[in-house]
Every structure is written in structure tokens, then in C-alpha cells.
Amino acid sequence: MKKFVVLISALLFLTSTVYAKDYAKMQIKEMKHAQKYNTTQKVLQNKTSQSPKTTTVSGIKDPKIMRFGNYKEVSKAKYEEKLKKDNALYSEYEKVLGKKHSKYYTTQADAEDFYKIYRVTERLIRANKLDYINWRISIYKDTENPNAYTSSVNHIAISTSLLDTFTNNDDALALIIGHEMGHALLGHQKRSNQLLVKMERERKLAALGNSIAAAAYIGMKKKYLIDSKNMEYAADVEGAKLALRAGYNLNKASDVLTFLSTFDIDKDFRSDHPDSTKRIENLNENAKYFPEGWKAMGEYNIYNSSVLPVQLSSDRKSIVISVSDEKLNPNQYYSPETMEEVYARFGYMYYINGQFEKSLNNFKDLFKIDETNASAYLYASYASEYLYKNTKNSKYLNTAKEYAKKALELEPDNKYIKEQVEAL
């Protein structure tokens, strides 16, 4: 009996020894993980630093005749006066959004939320001439998943958790809405659906034992996931273009991408969405090549347009921003950049940033599809001239002369082109 008591005592001692945790040591070990997963620093990283911008090289030739959009400068005084007049109309629409159309609908979002979304979206529409169709914006209840999506060419849905997170950051809301508009404008839904239809066809054949279809399905699925991520990158940039033209601050707007990088997202989302850190890098890199004139173009469009009417839609969970009474020609409405415009913009922006080789390569791509842009030929000549000065390679001097001559043929009375021809 005595031996049994001793044995029990020994076991109790060992058990207490095994399960006695050093909680302080455990905390020290766990804090190592916090160095990697610290959400505070991730949230603040974009607040403490500005997105990189191009640094214009001093002393280069730049008569500033490259334009990206059809607009005129509007004086600050005239623009401010226009905004004051618009505010009177906005206050009327704020009252409209506060009305409940039926006592049987209990899921209607708060009038203040509808009004906030209306103001941001309406500004994006007017600044970019997107009033060719009624835009529908809905707010759906989801306190767990901060998300937004587009389900058609004119419908955008925003979760309450995402709206609440950025309720005091209109710049971020503009990027969120602009991103979804970008998906619609770039035709991503149709593109994705076409890929999914092809994948489903091959999947059904594979299920019947068709080995060729099985291999095709795997290849298509891989392509779909790659394309899906690329479309997200493109929608981020397209949305940023819309937001910039509407006068929103892209540095503050990118807070939404920083926020998404702070928490783990479900596997399905990660499979067809890029890592948020890479999305931030993509946005910052592309923003370096946005022309300063885009903001002035947005102000011009707002100045020359009227406040767009809004109303609660029939489901009481969304609003409809109606088309303008003023009907424009189809080519006056917003359209994603053509390849000619893309090559011209990057050619110019690379040039003023001193990236002359990249500038010249983009201008060369432009000239393959458009040989009528005299200003582009002039800047291609400038870029070639600086490459000659930097490398002493005569081929660049000959190219500079060739492009200057071509520009003069297109615009013989342009004084800047004449000066370049004479200088060479």
C-alpha cells in the first residue's frame, strides 16, 4: 500500500511538471509571428508614404503639346461657382433618398449611406462622361465580408462591412466603385463567362472519359485563373483612372488595397485574385504614368454637365443614377483607352521621366497602327536625340531626324517641329 501511494505521488508530480507552462516564454515565441502578421503596420504603410510619382527630368525639351483627352482648362473660380450651384440640387436629391417607398420593405439601407454612395458615384460618372446608361448601386448586408462586385454592365453591389470600413474615406470608396466600373467598361464579365462556358464543355467531355478534353480542361482552368488575376490588375488601374479624373486622391484611395492585405481571404478569392501587396505595387507603378491633365479634364466634364438625378430603385435596396437629359454623340462618351492612346501616353510619360528607350519603343508601337500623330513623332524625335547624346550611337541621330521630318510633313506650320528640324 505504501509503494502504491508513493507511485501515485510520483505520477502527480510528473504530471504537474509536464503541464506547467511557461506562459511568458510562450508569449515571447508567439510575438515572433506578430512581426510578420502585424495588421497595424500594414494598414499604416500607405498612410505614411506617398505613391511613387514620375520625376520630370529637368532640361529636356517639352513644349507640352501632347494631350490626352478633349478638354479645356476651367478657371478655379468658375469651377467653384459651378459646384455651388450643383450643391442646391444635391440637397434635393438627399431628401428623395430619405423617403421609404413602402412600409412593407424593412431592408432599405439608411438614407445617409445611399446619399454617400450617390455622391461618389455621380462624381465619377460626370467626370468621365459615363452617363450613357443608368447606373445601379446596391448596398447589401454582410458584416463579415468586406466586398464589392459587379453583376452586369451597370450594376455595382457594395457590402455594408466594406462601406462602413471606408465611410469616412471617399477616395477609397471612389476606387472601389471605379474598380467595379472598370470591370464593366473593360467587358470582363463577358470575357470570364466565355472562358467558363468553354471550360464546362471540356469538363463534361472529360467526365465521359475523353482524355484530350481532360487535358484541355486543365489548360483552360489555368488560363482562366491567370486571366482573372490580370483582369483584377486592369480593373484596379481603370478604376484609378476614373477616380483621378474625378479629383480623388489615389494615395488615400489605395488604403482599400492595404486593408485587404491585412487579413486572410478565402481560398476561392485568392485563386482568382492577385495578392493585395502586388495589387498595390501594380497601382502605384501605373499611377506614375497618369498625365496631370486628367484631373483638369474631369473638372471640364463636370463643369459642362448637370447634376444627374437619382432615385430609389424598385427593390428598395439600391439606387438608380439616371442618364443625363443631354444626349451626346457616341464618341463623346467615355471609352477605355485605345491602343493608340495607350502607346502615346506611355511614350510621352516615359520620355518626361527620362526613360528614353522605353519611350521610343512605345512610340514605335504607336506608329505601326497610327502614322498621323505629329506630336508623337516630335517626341519620338526628342527621345531619339537624347539617346544619341547618351550613347553617341549615330543610329539614334538618324532616327531623330527621320521622326522630325515625318512630323513636319504632318504639321508644316508647327513651330516646335520646325525648331527640332533645324536643331538636328
Cell output for 76 = 478655379
Q: What is the pLDDT of residue 105?
A: 47
> 275 lies in a domain?
yes
118 and 170 part of one domain: yes
> 218 lies in a domain?
no
**237: domain range?**
76-192+231-332
The pTM for the full model equals 0.84
Which domain-ending residue is among 299, 332, 365?
332
> 419 lies in a domain?
yes
Cα–Cα distance, 107 to 342 (Å, whole number):
44
> 57 lies in a domain?
no
Sign of the CA dihedral 11, 14, 20, 26? negative
21 and 99 part of one domain: no
Which amino acid, residue 190? K
Q: What is the pLDDT of residue 288?
A: 92
The angle at the Cα of 185, spanning 111 to 250, to the nearest 5 degrees, equals 65
The angle at the Cα of 318, spanning 313 to 321, to the nearest 5 degrees, equals 70
Q: What is the pLDDT of residue 369?
A: 95
Cell output for 424 = 538636328
Which domain-ending residue is among 282, 317, 332?
332
- Rounded to whole angstroms, what are the CA distances from 354 to 52, 57, 357, 387, 404? 15, 6, 9, 10, 19
Cα–Cα distance, 305 to 299 (Å, whole number):
10
Cell output for 25 = 516564454
126 and 244 part of one domain: yes
271 and 320 part of one domain: yes
381 and 361 part of one domain: yes
Based on the structure, what is the number of domains in the chain?
Answer: 3
> 262 lies in a domain?
yes
Where would I find the H helices in 246-292? 250-253, 255-260, 267-272, 276-287
150 and 134 part of one domain: yes
Helix (H) or strand (E) run with residue 151 in it: strand 148-152
Which domain-ending residue is among 273, 300, 332?
332
pLDDT tens track, the chain, 424 positions: 555 455 555 545 555 555 567 755 666 676 666 566 565 555 555 554 455 555 566 679 999 999 888 889 999 999 999 999 999 999 999 888 876 554 544 455 677 889 999 999 999 999 999 999 999 999 988 888 889 999 888 999 999 999 999 999 999 999 999 999 999 988 888 888 888 999 999 999 999 989 999 999 999 999 888 888 888 998 999 999 999 999 999 999 988 888 887 766 555 555 667 888 888 989 999 999 999 899 999 999 999 999 999 998 877 788 999 998 887 787 788 888 999 999 999 999 999 999 999 999 999 999 999 999 999 999 999 999 999 999 999 999 999 999 999 999 999 999 999 999 999 9
> 51 lies in a domain?
no
369 and 293 part of one domain: no
308 and 343 part of one domain: no
Of the candidates 241, 251, 297, the one whose C-alpha atom is nearest the C-alpha of residue 79 is: 297
328 and 370 part of one domain: no
Residues whose CB falls within 8 Å of the CB of residue 414, separated by 6 or more in sequence, listed in order? 374, 378, 407, 408
Q: What is the pLDDT of residue 97?
A: 83
Residues whose CB falls within 8 Å of the CB of residue 155, separated by 6 or more in sequence, listed in order? 135, 136, 137, 138, 318
328 and 385 part of one domain: no
> 203 lies in a domain?
no
357 and 391 part of one domain: yes
Sign of the CA dihedral 174, 179, 180, 183? positive
> 63 lies in a domain?
no
Cα–Cα distance, 240 to 251 (Å, whole number):
10
CATH, residue 398:
1.25.40.10
85 and 139 part of one domain: yes
Edge-first strand order for the sheet with 135-140 is 148-152, 155-159, 135-140, 318-321, 310-312
Q: What is the pLDDT of residue 404?
A: 97
For 73-102, b/e burial (b = at least 16 CB within 10 A) is ebeeeebeebeeebeeeeeebbebbeeeee
